[in-house]
Amino acid sequence: MGFEFSERLKALPPYLFAELDRKKQEKIAQGVDVIDLGVGDPDLPTPQPIIEAGKRAMENPENHKYPSYVGMRSYREAVSRWYKRRFDVELDPDSEVIALIGSKEGVAHFPLAFVNSGDVVICPDPAYPVYKIGTMFAGGTPYTVPLKEENGFLPDLGSIPQEVVDRAKIIWVNYPNNPTSANATEEFYRELISWAKRHSIIVASDNAYSEIYLGDKKPISILQIEGAKDVAIEFHSLSKTYNMTGWRIGMAVGNEELVKGLGKVKTNVDSGQFNAVQEAGIAALNLPEEELDKLRATYRERREVMSSALRKIGLEALDSDVTFYLWIKVPSGYTSSEFVSKLLDEAGIVCTPGNGFGDAGEGYFRISLTLPTDRLVEAAKRIESLKL
């Protein structure tokens, strides 16, 4: 019939992993035991109490009806209690919390509430692609600000041209960061909030990895910064914290108007998340901290196994104690894609080339620690025997 995709779809950036996927399938067909360290999707199961709560809730016919658009009151209360306990941030469950069908859903929809055609949205590079794509779907223009190693992978706000600042509606930040595994300092957040207020720009913070910390220092929420609630909304998710990527449950919290705008969009495009999933979410948010300590210990062990293997062949992952990613400079003489291809050809290992997250990611690759530890140990062995 020759149906043509919309300009919106045609404008999407090319899918950079297509060639890598093809090569991976080719290797598998050749009988190679491929180890995929590319995807950031926890391998461990959802903790049992969460599953039990979901099962129980599924049996209740009350939950078989349309859920509330903004999420059950009890779920929003659980979010509010969790933010108080974890970050000492007060949130009104009625006006400052909304349930999301996974945080990706909220991140993608948020610009529809505040961006008009021609408005600029400042997005980091390298980054989770949804900030840029959500902006484009809303008719906005993404402006990418590079995250550079010499700045601790924080955006240099002073480098953004005045005419961009004048047209900017939103700035996205994501710490602990995917893909670089960098974390933000409190000073950075303070500077960001005061800059955003000066220029009337919305700060949208993606805090999906706040609980994936391997040391003693816990990542903070931007809402802990004084005055943040005047300009900021934070997107959070149960996906990474509780091994719940498949359940699709998250939340957006913070400035009342920003939450309300997102709610208006959602009311018109979706009908909320299944109550049973929200009940499971409540159980997750109430889980004792010790349960998560075990998970963090696992990631810590895996990070050590992988970093020490990389060190043996002269590669150094960014020194970090947050997220389950390693961000590594490729050896000199290789592009990101070339080195990732070499890893696949010579070790049967799939990693993500840094440029897949944006131009500023060129020169790096990312390893995800979300495979069973014995597979990571095997991958580490193969890396150690690699000839560079």
Ligand X SMILES: *Cc1c(COP(=O)(O)O)cnc(C)c1O
User: What burial class does residue 380 get, using C-beta atoms within 10 Å of its C-beta: 0-12 exposed, 13-18 middle, 19+ buried?
Assistant: buried
Residues in Cβ contact with 202 at an 8 Å cutoff, skipping those fewer than 6 apart: 114, 169, 170, 171, 196, 231, 232, 233, 255, 258
Instruction: Write phi, then psi, for 32 (nearest 5 degrees).
Output: -75, 135
Query: Facing residues of 232 across strands?
Result: 203
Q: At what angle do helices 373-384 and 336-347 cross, to 10 degrees?
A: 100
Piece of the chain touching ligand X by CB under 6 A; list 102-110, 151-159, 260-268, 376-384: 102-110
Nearest approach, Cβ of residue 240 and ligand X (Å): 6
Structure tokens at 136: 């484009």
Nearest approach, Cβ of residue 54 and ligand X (Å): 16
Nearest Cα to Cα of residue 296 among 318, 324, 319 = 324
The pairing of strands 168-173 and 202-206 is: parallel
Cβ proximity to ligand X: between 237 and 307 the closer is 237
User: What burial class does residue 30 get, using C-beta atoms within 10 Å of its C-beta: 0-12 exposed, 13-18 middle, 19+ buried?
Assistant: exposed
Cis peptide before 13 (omega within 30 of 0): no
Q: Among 80, 174, 180, 205, which residue interacts with ligand X (rule: CB under 6 A)? A: 174
| Position 115, amino acid | V
SS3 349: strand
Residues in Cβ contact with 172 at an 8 Å cutoff, skipping those fewer than 6 apart: 121, 122, 123, 124, 127, 131, 204, 205, 206
Nearest approach, Cβ of residue 296 and ligand X (Å): 17
Nearest approach, Cβ of residue 284 and ligand X (Å): 12
Interacting positions 23-52 with ligand X (CB under 6 A): 40
Q: Among 208, 276, 317, 343, which residue interacts with ligand X (rule: CB under 6 A)? A: 208
Interatomic CA distance for residues 284 and 282, integer angstroms: 5
Cβ proximity to ligand X: between 240 and 302 the closer is 240
Residue with tokens 């996927």: 21
Is 104 a binding residue for ligand X by CB under 6 A? The answer is: yes
Structure tokens at 65: 């009806």
Interacting positions 124-163 with ligand X (CB under 6 A): 128
Q: Among 36, 125, 206, 211, which residue interacts with ligand X (rule: CB under 6 A)? A: 206
Is 245 a binding residue for ligand X by CB under 6 A? The answer is: yes
Piece of the chain touching ligand X by CB under 6 A; list 72-80, 237-245, 345-353, 376-384: 237-245
Residue with tokens 């009337």: 200
Nearest approach, Cβ of residue 161 and ligand X (Å): 26
Cβ proximity to ligand X: between 348 and 353 the closer is 353
Piece of the chain touching ligand X by CB under 6 A; list 88-96, 98-106, 196-204, 354-362: 98-106
Task: Give yes or no for a contact between 19 and 352, defined as CB atoms under 8 angstroms apart.
Answer: no
Q: Among 46, 135, 178, 210, which residue interacts with ligand X (rule: CB under 6 A)? A: 178
| Number of amino acids touching ligand X (CB under 6 A) | 14
Is 356 a binding residue for ligand X by CB under 6 A? The answer is: no
Nearest approach, Cβ of residue 340 and ligand X (Å): 19
Nearest approach, Cβ of residue 248 and ligand X (Å): 7
Residue with tokens 């080195």: 339
Q: Among 181, 239, 255, 307, which residue interacts with ligand X (rule: CB under 6 A)? A: 239
Residues that bind ligand X (CB under 6 A): 40, 102-104, 128, 174, 178, 206, 208, 237, 239-240, 245, 250
